[in-house]
Amino acid sequence: MVLVIDEFPYIAMANKSIPSLMQNLIDHNLKNSKLFIIICGCSMSFMEKEILSYKSPLYGRRTSQMKIEPFDFFDSINFFQNYSIQNQVISYGIVGGIPQYLQIATKTAVQFL
């Protein structure tokens, strides 16, 4: 079973005891379970300071970490295949490489160019 907690910084800022509660839960209740927890957050500084640092209650409990980067220009223009190269450059300049923004831009009936 997989539990994904997205935007964990918002949860942890709303209740400062959440990381300690999760530590206790992991150490005492979930240690031998088959639960796989994925914690996500867009605030990299918060994730590094409050979740991954030595002083964090969750320190030492991660098995992996990933930094997800936006698409580069060449991956992003695949969303705008029917555009001229000039309009692909403009589109990437407006939308950037965030996959959700690229999907929204390509699904809208109104082209912004």
List pLDDT tens digits, range 93-108. 988 999 888 988 887 7
Asked if 29 and 22 touch (Cβ cutoff 8 Å), the reply is no
Residue 63 DSSP one-character state: S
- Answer with the residue of higher pLDDT: 113 or 95: 95
Residue with tokens 């979740």: 51
Does the reported pTM lie above 0.85? no
Confidence check: pLDDT of 64 > 50: yes
Q: At 2, phi and psi to the nearest 5?
A: -120, 130
Taking alpha carbons only, the member of 2, 113, 111, 5 closest to residue 58 is 5
> Model confidence at 11, in pLDDT bands (50, 70, 90)?
very high
pLDDT of residue 82: 86
Residue 30 to residues 15, 33, 78, 86, Cα–Cα distance (Å): 21, 5, 42, 53
- List residues bridging with 4 in a β-sheet: 38
Asked if 6 and 40 touch (Cβ cutoff 8 Å), the reply is yes
Domain ranges of the chain: 2-52, 73-107
